[in-house]
Structure 1
Amino acid sequence: MTQPDHTTLTGEQVRALVDRYASGPLAEAYAHLDGVAEPALTEVPVLTKDDFRAALPGTVARARDARFGSLVYASGGTTASPKLSLIPSHMFVRDVAAHWNPLTADDVLLNYDTPGLLSSAHNFFNGLAEFTGAVSVPLGAVDDERVPAWLDTVESLGVTAFNGTQSQIAQLVRLCAAAGRKPPAFRKVLWNGEAFSASAAALVREQLPDTELHGIYGSTETWVIGHNGLGCDLDTFHVLPYQHIELDEGMILVTNTHPDCLNPVLRYRIGDRGTWVDCPCGRPGPALRVHGRDDPQLKFLSILVTPQEVAGAAHAVPAVTGVQVVMVDHGAAEERMELLVTLAPGTDTDGAVAEVRHRVLTDVYRLGFEVAAVPQAFEVRAVERLWVNPRSNKTPLLRHRSGSDTEETWNGNA
C-alpha cells in the first residue's frame, strides 16, 4: 500500500514549510537547505520530542505574532517539567468537522474528558459541540463513587452522545454493570487519546450494542491526524488532507501543512508505528493502521523485551481482561517487573495468576531463563482496576516506579 496521492508534497510546498520554521532554535536543522529552491521532503531532518521541546521559545514567539489567539497544552512529561505545545484557539474544529463530525444539532454530548491541567481534549469536544449546534454537558471525569449520582443528572438531560478515552468509556460501563443499572442510552461514543483495547471494545459492544463508535487519532503536537467511524476498524484512521504522513521503516512521521499550524511539525516522529491499508468501511484511498509505539523495547535482567510481548502472552490466558506492566527500580540491580492483571468475574484468582506467570515466563523469549535465577524479580498480581493516569484518563501499558514508593495509587485499585 503506497502513500495516498492527495497528501504528496511538492518541492514548492516543502520550501514554504521550511521557510516558515527556519528561524529561532531550528535554524541550524534547516541550514543545509538554504538556496535549494524545491527541496524534497526527505531532505528535511526528522524531528523528535527533544527537538520540539527546544523549539518551544520560538513557537511562543510565533504564536504572539499570529493573527489568532493560541492555547497551551501539555503532551506529557511531569507536572514540574511538562512537554508543552501550542495550537490555535480555534483548535482546527472547523477543519476536522469538515471530514469527521459524528454529532448533529439535536445531540446532547456528555463530555467526560478531563478539563484543566493543560489537557486538550475536553476543550476540543466542547468546541465541536458548539460548532455543530449540539448541547454540551462538560462534566469531566468523575470519581467512581460519585458516578451513579451524576448519571442520574445527565440522564435527566437526555444525553445521546459521550466522549472520553477508551479507559473512561470502559470504566463507566463497568461501574454501571456493577451497580446493576444500564448505561445511559448513548447513540454515539466519541473516543480519543489511546488505542481501543479488545477487552474494552468487547465490553462496550456487550453493554451498548447499538452505540456507534467514532474515534480520532493524533497528538497534542500535531493535533488530529485521522479519524474513523462506522464500518472502520478501531485501529485504522483516515488521514485529514492537511496532514502529510510518511512511513519510515514503519515509523509514522507527520507534517502538518495547515497554514494556522504553530508547532514545528515537519517530519515529526510521533512515536507510533503504522502501515497503509484498505479500510473495510469502503472509503476510497488507503487508510493508516496504527500498530502501537515505535520505541517499545526495554532492557530487563540483561534481555530486551517489549511490554507488548509480555501483555500478549498474558492475554493468551482466557480469564485475563486487562494487563499493565510496571517496572520497579528499572535499571538498578534490584529491578523488578510487576505484571498487573484484571480478571473476568468468577475467575479463580490464584489459579489464573499462576497460569499467567507460567505463560509469560514460557512464551516471552529468554524471560523464564533469566527470572529463574532471581524469581523475586517477576511478580503477577490480580487487581480490581489497572492504574489510570489521572490527568489524561489513559491506561498506559507500561509504568515506572521506585521500590520505595508507597502511594496508594500503586496498589492497582486507584
Structure 2
Amino acid sequence: MKHDRTDFDAGALRRMYAHASSLPTLRDKYAGVPDDGGELSLGDMPVLTKDELAGALDDLVAAARARSIGAYLYGSGGTTSKPKLSVVPTGMFVSAVRREWNPLAPDDMLVNFYSTGQLWSSHNFFNMLAHESGSVVLPLGSVEGDELGEWLEVMERLGVTALNATPSQIAQLLEYCDNTGRKPPAIDKLLWTGEKYGDRAAALTRSMLPGVKTYGVYGSTETWVIGGNGPDCALDVFHVLPYQHVELIDGVVLVTNTDPDCLNPILRYQVGDRGEFVACPCGRAEPGLRVLGRADTQVKFVSVLVAPAELGEIARRITGVQDVQLAFRNHARPDEALQVRLLVQPGADPAAVAGLVRHELLTEVYRLRAVVNRAPRALEVTVVDRLAVNSRTGKTPLYLSEDQ
C-alpha cells in the first residue's frame, strides 16, 4: 500500500534520482534503473537502506560543500568508531514544516528541553522553529534531578507557554512535580518527538496538565520531519507532510523526500519502522500514518536508537567477558533502563570486568553517555551466573524486553 498523492512531483523524482545516482558509492545501485530520458517511475527505484546511506557519507559531505545552502552534520546512531551521520540543510525544512505543522505563535515562550550536545539535532530544530514562528525560546537543554526545582521557578517567573521534550522527559518532569507537591509549569502546549508517547507520559499529562495541547512530529535524522500531529489527533498517528512521500511495503515505511534542499538521497529510504495508514480522530480526509514500532534490529532506548548487536560486540571485546545479554526494561516509562548481564570467564575479576564494559559502552555508543549522565540508573552492568534461555527454542537471546 502506498500513500499516493495526485500531485506527486515527477520532476522531484528525476532530481532525487540524479542526485542519488551521481554519488560514487551509490552509482552501481542505480545502474539498473530503466531510464530512457522520459518520466521515471518511483516503483522502478531500488530501496535505500540505512547502511547504504551511511556508506555514502563522504560523497554526501563533498556534494554538500559544492552547494551554497549550508549544512549540518547530525548523528543518527552508531558508535564512535562507526558513527552514522546525516547531512541536513541548515534551514532544516522548517518553513515547509510550518506550512502544515505550526504549533507556536509569536506571543509564545518555548522552553527547549532537548539536549544540546554530541550532534543531537532536535535542540536546534526547535530553536529554529521558535525563530521562524517569532516566538521567544529558552534553550535550556536537558535538566535532571535537583536542578528541576530551580528551573521550574525560572519558568514560572518568565511565564512560559510551551515546552518541547521527549515523552520520557515530559514524564520525568511531571513525576518530579507530583512527588514534590509542586505545580507543573502553566503551559498551554507540549511539543514532542523522538519516541512513542508512552502510557505513563500520557496518563501524567492528562492528570497534571488537563488542558494542554500536544503537538508531535515523526521522522528521523536522515529523512527529517515526515509528519506531524496536533491536539485533535491520536498520539501515534501522524499526517505526512507534502514534501515527503510515504510508501508501505509489507508494512515497512519507505520515504522519499522531494524538497529541493534535501542533501541526503532520501529516495525510497527504509526508515526502519513499521506502519499503517488509518483514519485519524481529527477528521482530516486523508489517512494518517500510524507508527507500529521498529522493522529493523535497532531498539529505541531513552530516546536513543541503539543496535543490540553493536552493544554486544563492544561488551565481548573486553577481556574476561564470556557472554552478554541485554535486558531493556520499562520501555517508554520514566524509569526505563538497560541492564547489561555478563558471564565472565573463570579467574576474571567480576567487578573490574563490569566496570570496563560500562566504560566502553559509555565511550563507544553514540549519545549513551549523555543519557546516563542525566539518569545514572538507566544503565546497569552486572555479572550473573547464567543468562536467560528461551524455553521453547532453547536459544539464548541477545536481548530481552522486560517490564517491572
TM-score grouping bracket, smaller chain normalisation: 0.7 to 0.9
Relative to structure 1, the CA distance from residue 160 to residue 6 in structure 2 (aligned partners, 3 Å threshold; closer, same or farther) is farther
Aligned counterparts of 1:392 and 1:261: Cα–Cα separation in 2: 29
Superposition deviation, residue 80 in structure 1: 3.8
What's the CA shift string for 1:239-258, capped at 9, x where partnerless? 00110101010000011011
Q: Following TM superposition, by how much is the alpha carbon of 1:403 offset from its aligned partner in structure 2, in angstroms?
A: 5.2
Aligned-partner Cα distance in 1 for 2:41–2:380:
43
Matches for 1:185-264 after TM superposition, within 5 Å: 185-264=186-265
Partner of 1:21: 20
User: Greater relative contact order (Cα 8 A, min sep 6): structure 1 or 2?
Assistant: 2
Q: Structure 1 residues 105 and 94 mapped into 2: Cα distance closer, same or farther (>3 Å)? A: same
Give the corresponding residue for 2:143: 142
User: Quick check: 1:329–1:402 contact (8 Å CA) kept in 2?
Assistant: no
Match of 2:98 in 1: 97
Aligned to 2:3: 3
Indicate how the Cα distance of structure 1 residues 170 and 400 shifts in structure 2: closer, same or farther if over 3 A, else same. Answer: closer
- The number of residues matched between the two structures is 334
Deviation, structure 1 residue 9: 5.5
Query: Quick one: distance in 2 between partners of 1:168 and 1:7?
Result: 39
Question: Hey, what's the Cα distance between the residues in 1 that align with 2:272 and 2:183?
Answer: 38
The answer as to whether partners of 1:4 and 1:286 remain within 8 angstroms in 2 is no
Aligned match of 1:85: 86
1:291: how far off? 0.4
Deviation per residue, 1:325-351 (Å, 9 max, x gap): x99969997554546359x9xxxxxxx
Q: Which residue of 2 aligns with 1:33?
A: 33
Structure 1 residue matching 2:85: 3-state secondary structure: strand
Give the equivalent residue in structure 1 for 2:387: none
List aligned pairs for 1:201-350, cutoff 5 A: 201-295=202-296, 334-336=323-325, 338=327, 340-341=329-330
1:144, distance to aligned residue in structure 2 (A): 1.3
Deviations 1:2-36 (A, max 9, x none): 624246454x5433321122122111111112643
* Alpha-carbon shift at residue 45 of structure 1 (Å): 1.2
Q: Which amino acid aligns with 2:15?
A: A
CA displacement at 1:295 relative to structure 2 = 2.6
SS for the counterpart of 1:32 is coil
Aligned pairs (5 A) from 1:370-409: 389=368, 391=370
Q: Please give the alpha-carbon distance, in whole angstroms, between the structure 2 residues aligned to 1:145 and 1:400.
A: 20
Whichever residue aligns with residue 119 of structure 2, its letter is L
Distance 1:49 1:146 in 2: 38
Contact 1:46 1:266 in 2 (8 A): yes
Deviation of 1:265 (Å): 1.1
Tell me the SS of whatever aligns to 1:169. Answer: helix
Match of 1:253, as an amino acid? L
- Partner amino acid, structure 2, of 1:244: H
Q: Secondary structure at the match of 2:286?
A: coil
Counterpart Cα distance in 1 of 2:231 and 2:6: 23
Q: Is the 8 A contact 1:29 1:45 kept in 2?
A: yes
TM-score (norm 1): 0.74
Q: Is the contact made by 1:112 and 1:139 (CA closer than 8 Å) also made in structure 2?
A: yes
Deviations 1:269-288 (A, max 9, x none): 00000011111101121111
Unaligned 5+ runs, structure 2: 301-307, 334-361, 385-401
Q: TM-score, normalised by structure 2?
A: 0.75
User: How much does 1:79 deviate?
Assistant: 3.3
Separation in 2 of the partners of 1:240 and 1:126?
Answer: 20
CA shift in 2, pair 1:4/1:232, >3 Å: farther
- After TM superposition, the structure 1 = structure 2 runs for residues 59-78 of structure 1, keeping only pairs within 5 Å, are 59-78=60-79
Alpha-carbon separation, structure 2, partners of 1:190 and 1:88: 22
Q: Secondary structure at the match of 1:131?
A: helix
Q: Which residue of 2 aligns with 1:113?
A: 114
Matched letter for residue 163 of structure 1: N
Contact 1:192-1:216 within 8 A present in 2 as well: yes
Letter matched to residue 27 of structure 1: R
SS of residue paired to 1:168: helix
- C-alpha separation between the residues in 2 aligned to 1:337 and 1:136? 39
Change (3 A) 1:211 1:45: same
Structure 1 unmatched runs, 5+: 298-306, 309-325, 345-386, 406-411
Query: CA shift at 1:38, angstroms?
Result: 2.7
